[in-house]
Amino acid sequence: MVYKAMLFRQTDLPMEERIQDLISRMTLEEKVSQLIYDSAAVPRLGIEEYNWWNECLHGVGRAGVATVFPQAIGMAASFNPELLGEVAEVIATEARAKHHEAARHGDRGIYKGLTFWTPNVNIFRDPRWGRGQETYGEDPYLTAQLGVAFVKGLQGDHPKYMKAAACAKHYAVHSGPESLRHSFDARCSQKDLYETYLPAFRALVKEANVESVMGAYNRTNGEPCCASPTLLQKILREDWGFEGHVVSDCGAILDIHAHHKVTNTPEESAALAVENGCDLNCGRVYPALVEAVKQGLISEEKIDLSLARLLRTKFKLGMFDPEEEVPFAQIPFEVVAAPEHRSLSREMARQSMVLLKNENNVLPLNKDLKTVAVIGPNAQAQNVLLGNYFGTSTKLVTALDGIRNKLEPECRVLYAEGCDILTTEVGFWGNSPKEGFAEALAVAERSDAVIMCMGISPDLEGEEGAAANSDGGGDKISLELPGMQNELIKEIAALGKPVVLVVFSGSPMALTTVQEHVPAIIQAWYPGEEGGNALADIIFGDYNPAGRLPVTFVKSLDQVPEFTDYSMAGRTYRYMEEEPLYPFGYGLSYTSFEYDSLTVPIEVNTGENLEVEVEVENTGSRAGDEVVQLYVKHHSASTATPRFSLQGFKRITLQPGEKQTVTFTLTPRQLAVFDEDGRCLVEPHTLEIFVGGSQPDPRSQALTGQEPLSLTVELVGETIELDR
């Protein structure tokens, strides 16, 4: 065809020349049609329709069969960026195979593209937030490290082509409440903005070269995020040098006039958003740009600028090049849900689970038991494997399935639901909410050990409109185990059998009521398609758990500020003064570790890196992983600082008796403080460096019986202001 001879089709020409050639051939209406998420075909130029909306939070989502990995919050609990990068690489591999096969069959619809609106690097600042499960937790440094690993794994390192395009969302200060997300104004200080809410976005832009950023629904300090000159122009493009494209959250441009009331018409909202750097509209407002140009609200040159950014992404994905020149287009469809990908999902699930309690070493259970009871509403539930934004697994292994796979036929596995996940009232026909208790007690009485699979489900927490039994918006009403679960746990525990409580959730639960009644607790999150097998591996000792909490488990909501308060005061381990139930960074093992020989310099210049060494030894009888954590505490700084902050972590594997020297290199930015104006300052003062298997707070020490090693370092020299 004639269009194949056009300059933008010539793969040997510079990309920018190709982009400008294509733009020059398009009418205003055609240009605008490309700024909508379901961009139209332009047949006269040989351009196919393309839907920009795709999801891959923990596997290719909503597009049929794909490997389902643990939910993001669970993968964060692995504290393993390298493994998360492998997961992202597999996701990209399956994405490429599915995309090209769908296109060959003429399907270019939603969820079939290569532009993925993942990862979610918002800070999980409040345990009620239904979308906290999508994040990597409450800590800016952990979130940044994991987000960078995911983006690099997804986008790949080919010199010419991206494997898939990642997106950092939701920019910025977006963390609930879900019911207010279309209209609220997240007011926060410059200190909190730069110290807590922005660092992960900055890292994904500057370290991982993330291709896209998604603007949030809300306003931040008065400006709609998808039309914010401060966020999109000043910070993102001018300060950080972002060169990719910005996409709106779905419906967010409509919100500018309909809910935020910043503008009056669709034309004004569309013009304001594009003028300030939002290039792609997930929604139906940008068609008004044609009229906006006629009204003089925006120039066609501004539209060309946004279009160029979007076309650049498509060129980098090889969408205008022959398939034979794009290496990722050759990935066979057979890789989708391959056995090795399922194995990786199982490994990630094993690394994600957190052993919260193990009194008298009840765990691991002996596989030689004659009878085991598996009880609870989540024992055979499949939705608790998935969380949200998931694909279709070829086989979901529930907790009950995994335990049966591990033990039968040598051991008999009995099952009772016990209660449903939510009911507390007598039913219409007089059904008691405790009607399953008798069966549960019967199987427990006949068993050598009891595994109770409790918690919540995606029906109780999620995105706006996705969680039916939430506060109406998707956020949790309570942190307590719902329904009759607490009562059932107490009655089963009273039998005196060894009881293992397994909690499925995408967020912190208040386990204060039940933790004293059971000797062992495992936080399983939403663990993916192999979750049941991974859980059984841990319970019966084929895998030594080493997951760590990426978010604080508070005792109750009484310890949490108002949901709509975006100040970090009193929030997360960095600013919370009260004692939590289970601290950030906490998790137990079946073996023990000792730390020795912490080495740091006596002083370091404000412009230099700080080198830290520590020796870690496995002093127990089992091989296992340890998550070595480094925290920094500022003494006598010129501004308020967190209690302490995670600034380094490494997951290592040690055999019994094995020692390993772990090294950390802290950059000046990691030693800096943020003042009330949000300036990033490296100033002369005293630092305290803590290194251990948990954070340096009394609750962690009480739970683990260990105190991190610590030494002080003097920062000397002139105060340096770093780029924010």
Percent helix, strand, coil in the chain, to 5, is 35, 20, 45
Gap between the terminal Cα atoms of the chain: 50
- Cα 718 to chain center, whole Å? 38
Q: H helices then E strands: how many in the chain?
A: 19, 25
* Residue whose pair of structure tokens reads 């996701």 in the numeric block: 91
Q: What is the pLDDT of residues 64-112, one digit of tens each?
A: 999 999 999 999 999 999 999 999 999 999 999 999 999 999 999 999 9
Homologous superfamily in CATH for domain 593-722: Immunoglobulins (2.60.40.10)
Q: What is the pLDDT of residues 297-332, one digit of tens each?
A: 999 999 999 999 999 999 999 999 999 999 999 999
Topology of the domain comprising 27-334? TIM Barrel (3.20.20)
- Architecture per CATH, domain 353-551, reads as 3-Layer(aba) Sandwich (3.40)
| Closest of 597, 630, 603 to residue 616, by C-alpha | 597
Q: What is the pLDDT of residues 218-236, one digit of tens each?
A: 999 999 999 999 999 999 9
- At 470, the pLDDT band (50, 70, 90 cuts) reads confident
What DSSP string runs through 236-266? Answer: IIIIT---SEEEE-TTHHHHHHHTS-S-SSH
Instruction: Give the model's pLDDT for residue 501.
Output: 98
Q: How many CB atoms lie within 10 A of CB 569?
A: 12
- At 3, the pLDDT band (50, 70, 90 cuts) reads low
Which of 249, 267, 268, 275 does the annotation list as catalytic?
A: 249
Structure tokens that stand for 233 in this block: 């122009």
Distances (CA, A) of 100 to 206, 331, 337, 564: 30, 9, 16, 44
Which of 55, 94, 211, 461 does the annotation list as catalytic?
A: 461
In 463-585, the DSSP E strands lie at 499-504, 520-523
Check if 27-334 and 353-551 are the same fold.
no
Structure tokens that stand for 269 in this block: 């909202």
Domain boundaries, the chain: 27-334, 353-551, 593-722
Distances (CA, A) of 299 to 291, 303, 570: 11, 7, 46
pTM of the model: 0.98
The one-letter amino acid code at 680 reads C
| Closest of 505, 517, 407, 529 to residue 453, by C-alpha | 505
| Closest of 86, 206, 78 to residue 142, by C-alpha | 78
Beta strand 720-722 with 624-635 is: unpaired
Whether 461 is catalytic is yes
Whether 249 is catalytic is yes
Judge whether residue 665 has pLDDT over 60: yes
- Distance between CA 247 and CA 249 in Å, rounded? 7
Q: What is the pLDDT of residues 142-173, one digit of tens each?
A: 999 999 999 999 999 999 999 999 999 999 99
- Distance between CA 598 and CA 177 in Å, rounded? 43
Q: Judge whether 654 and 660 are in contact, CB under 8 Å.
A: yes
- Distance between CA 246 and CA 385 in Å, rounded? 32
- What's the mean pLDDT when you consider all of the chain? 97
